[in-house]
Amino acid sequence: MADTERPLSLVVLISGRGSNLKAILRAIDAGRLRATVKAVISSRADADGLRWERAAAIDTLALDGRDYPRREDYDRALLGLIERFAPDLVLLAGFMRILSAGFVRHFRGRLLNIHPSLLPALRGLRTHQRAIAEGLREHGASVHYVTEELDSCPVIIQARVPVLSDDSAETLAARVLQQEHELYVRALQLIATGEIRWNDDGRVYYRDGPLPEPLKITGLPDTTCTID
C-alpha cells in the first residue's frame, strides 16, 4: 500500500521529447497529483525533453546507450543512477530501450510503462500502423507494471480511441497521445491514493482485492475523464 501521507517520489526515463513527462509535471503543479519528480534520465544526450527539464530546474542526467555496447552494462549503470534518488516508482515515458531481466527484477513492483495499444493486443513497435493494417475499429493506450515479458500485463488502466476510416498512422498516433497524457496521470493518482497497489503475488490490487481487468478511462483529457 502506498504511503498516502507523503508525495510519491518519481524518477522518469525518456529518450525523446518527454511529452508524457510534461503532462505529469503539469498535473503536479496544478495540485492534481501528489508526487515529486526527483530526476529525469535520458538514453540520449540530445533528447529534447532534457532541455525542457533543465529549464524547469529538475535534476537531469543523460546515460547515452551508444556509450555502452552491452545492454547489461548500460542497465547496471542506469540502475545505479536511479537508486541515488531512492524513488517510489520508476516511470518509462518514451524510453526507447528494452531493459534486461535483471533490471526489471530489481525494480519489480516499482516500474511502470505506458504503451500505445490496448494490451495484450499489439505488443512491440509500430502499433498505430499495425492497428490500421489489421482493420481494428478501436485502439488506445495502456499503463502497466513492467515484467520481464515485453509489454506484458499486469495492466492498470487503459484509454480507448476510435480508428477512423481516413486515419493515417500519424493522425491515429496523435489521437492516442492526447489520451496518454491523462492516462499516465490517472494511473499515478490511483497509486498515490493507495487505491491501486502491486501485490507480492504479481497481481495488481484495486482497493480491497485483485483487479479483474484494467480500469478504463473515458472522456476528454484533463476535463471530463471518468474511471469505470
Q: Which are the catalytic amino acids?
A: 115
Q: Whose CA is closest to 2, among 206, 227, 215?
A: 206
Asked if residues 219 and 211 have their Cβ atoms less than 8 Å apart, the reply is no
Determine how many CB atoms are found less than 10 A away from the CB of residue 135: 7
Q: Give the three cell numbers for residue 46.
A: 540530445
Q: How far is CA 140 from the centre of its chain?
A: 14
157, HSE (Cβ side, Cα atoms, 13 Å):
26
